[in-house]
Amino acid sequence: MAKSKPRVKVPKTASKDEVITIKTLISHKMESGQRKDKDGNVIPRQIINKFTCDFNGKTVFSCDLEPAISANPYLEFSAKVPESGTFKFTWLDDDGSEYSTESKIAVE
């Protein structure tokens, strides 16, 4: 499979203790393991099965993903920002691959 590309949208600035909206998207086929190829063979499952978002080393959001989720999973959630720092986003794949990216935010 081609390398999955994570994308995130985080505001560049926020007020202290402001609740912000974070949007994430990762390019991934999300093969459920229930389809068959043209020869009738089951296509092996390969999905992003876990997502986590940490802020300054502390988990602020995480979820488990199941085969029923669509290709290129999009997640949107809120987080409270008490101070300037870095959000780290991590996606884990069935095959053991880990995809991650970071985004900084400044509290004014």
* Per-domain boundaries in the chain: 6-31+45-107
> Residue range 30-59: average pLDDT?
90
Structure tokens at 81: 């920002």
pLDDT tens digits, one per residue of 69-97: 888 999 999 999 999 999 999 999 988 99
Q: Quick one: how far is CA 10 from the chain centroid?
A: 13
| pLDDT (average), residues 4-28 | 95
Cα dist. 87→25, 26, 62, 65, 106 in Å? 15, 16, 13, 20, 11
Across-strand partners of 64? 50
Which element (helix H / strand E) includes 98?
strand 98-107
Predicted TM-score of the model (pTM): 0.88
Please tell me the distance from the alpha carbon of residue 47 to that of residue 94, in angstroms, as a whole number.
6
pLDDT of amino acid 4: 77
Task: Please state, in angstroms and rounded to a whole number, the distance separating the CA atoms of residues 102 and 11.
Answer: 13
| Domain spanning 6-31+45-107, CATH class | mainly beta
